[in-house]
């Protein structure tokens, strides 16, 4: 059996998979403080002494570079109780098993690559557009980490000349998160995204920013699939608009995949993250055999 933990900013999803990959059990706990929720998570996994490994996909930023002291920690999150908390180390101490460790969005990207919307390709990017924008990247069937992990939501963008919304990211006025995450929509138009469904100008501008970010990922990665999820992407009218803007930005330059099957919603829904955690843990077991 293999364990999976999707450590999210609002809930902690724990799951157990069989060796054949079947989801055997799944629970979730609110993300209170570490001292409240970590014992529940540890007790949950301890119920399964036959566990061979655990895969963890965590909200971030997190330390993923084994050569830095920050490895295993949730680092500069605005969630104060979790700042500089050693999530990996705490789990490893309580559960002495191989533990795969990456970001929640890298795990979701990998889950979609192995079992979801990108299972026929080797390179994909998963973008979640909600209260923030996060991106997970898979290249050659491996999640991308380098000095740190991708922070694709902070891609710097050209601002639309008519747009005078100042942006809400405290670090970058013009990054994708600052201009196109849920709070940017609300800040610019004065209403929540969900109340703006019928205002085409909202979605035209949103699509312009998201397409620009995708175009920049594409020239860097040549991804075979872009998977867009998160609360804002429930506005499914965005998909055709983003595809059209993407083609417009390309302006005939690069050979592109057929857009309809290139920029797509997730297939695994709420299970993308834990599925990716399971797959990463399985890889870890296989690599150690």
Residue pair 168/178 in contact by the 8 Å Cβ criterion? yes
Nearer to its own copies, 45 or 218 (CB): 218
d(CA 72, CA 56): 10
Residues 6+ apart with CB under 8 A from 96: none
* Closest alpha carbon to 285 in 22, 50, 6, 45: 50
Range in contact with its own copies (rule: CB under 8 A) among 39-47, 198-206, 244-252, 271-279: 244-252
* Closest alpha carbon to 94 in 61, 51, 124: 51
Nearer to its own copies, 136 or 229 (CB): 136
Range in contact with its own copies (rule: CB under 8 A) among 4-12, 140-148, 196-204, 275-283: 140-148
Helix axis angle, 34-46 to 87-94, nearest 10°: 40
Is 83 a binder of its own copies (CB under 8 A)?
Answer: no
The 100-129 site mask, x for binding its own copies (CB under 8 A), equals ---------------------xxx------
d(CA 176, CA 242): 14
| Least spacing, CB of residue 253 vs its own copies, in Å | 4
| Least spacing, CB of residue 252 vs its own copies, in Å | 7
Options 90, 160, 216, 267; binder of its own copies; rule CB under 8 A: 216
Is 139 a binder of its own copies (CB under 8 A)?
Answer: yes
Residue pair 105/111 in contact by the 8 Å Cβ criterion? no
Options 137, 181, 227, 241; binder of its own copies; rule CB under 8 A: 137
- Record the tokens describing residue 145, joined without a space: 């980490």
Q: Residue 29 burial (CB < 10 Å; 0-12/13-18/19+)?
A: middle
Is 162 a binder of its own copies (CB under 8 A)?
Answer: no
Residues 6+ apart with CB under 8 A from 19: 1, 2, 52
Q: Residue 10 burial (CB < 10 Å; 0-12/13-18/19+)?
A: exposed
| Least spacing, CB of residue 110 vs its own copies, in Å | 13
Give the total of residues touching its own copies (CB under 8 A): 52
Site for its own copies in 46-75 (CB under 8 A): 61, 63, 68, 70, 75
Site for its own copies in 218-237 (CB under 8 A): 219-224
Options 22, 252, 286, 288; binder of its own copies; rule CB under 8 A: 252
Residues 6+ apart with CB under 8 A from 107: 6, 55, 56, 57, 136, 143, 272, 273, 274, 276, 277, 280
Options 54, 99, 157, 207; binder of its own copies; rule CB under 8 A: 157
| Least spacing, CB of residue 105 vs its own copies, in Å | 12
Nearer to its own copies, 51 or 177 (CB): 177
d(CA 249, CA 259): 13
| Least spacing, CB of residue 158 vs its own copies, in Å | 5
List residues near its own copies by CB under 8 A: 61, 63, 68, 70, 75, 121-123, 135, 137, 139-140, 142, 144-159, 171-172, 174, 212, 215-217, 219-224, 249-257, 262
């Amino acid at each position: 059996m293999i364990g999976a933990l999707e450590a999210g900013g609002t809930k902690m999803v724990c799951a157990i998979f069989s060796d054949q990959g079947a989801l055997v059990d799944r629970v979730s706990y609110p993300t209170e403080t570490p001292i409240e929720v970590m014992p529940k998570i540890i007790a949950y996994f301890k119920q399964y002494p036959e566990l061979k490994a655990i895969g963890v996909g965590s909200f971030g930023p997190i330390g993923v570079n084994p050569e830095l002291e920050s490895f295993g920690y949730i680092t500069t999150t605005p969630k104060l109780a979790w700042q500089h908390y050693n999530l990996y180390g705490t789990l490893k101490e309580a559960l002495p098993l191989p533990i795969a460790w990456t970001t929640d969005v890298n795990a979701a990207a990998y889950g979609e690559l192995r079992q979801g919307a990108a299972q026929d390709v080797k390179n994909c990017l998963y973008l979640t557009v909600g209260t923030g924008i996060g991106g997970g990247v898979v290249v050659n069937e491996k999640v991308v980490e380098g000095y740190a992990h991708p922070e694709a939501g902070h891609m710097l963008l050209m601002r639309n000349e008519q747009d005078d919304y100042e942006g809400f990211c405290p670090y970058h006025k013009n990054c994708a998160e600052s201009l196109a995450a849920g709070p940017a929509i609300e800040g610019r138009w004065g209403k929540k995204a969900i109340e703006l469904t019928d205002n085409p100008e909202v979605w035209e501008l949103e699509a312009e920013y998201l397409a620009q970010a995708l175009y920049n990922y594409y020239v860097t990665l040549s991804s075979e699939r872009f998977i867009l999820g998160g609360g804002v992407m429930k506005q499914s009218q965005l998909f055709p608009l983003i595809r059209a803007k993407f083609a417009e930005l390309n302006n005939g330059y690069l050979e592109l995949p057929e857009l309809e099957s290139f920029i797509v919603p997730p297939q695994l829904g709420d299970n993308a993250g834990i599925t990716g955690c399971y797959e990463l843990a399985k890889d870890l077991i296989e690599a150690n055999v």
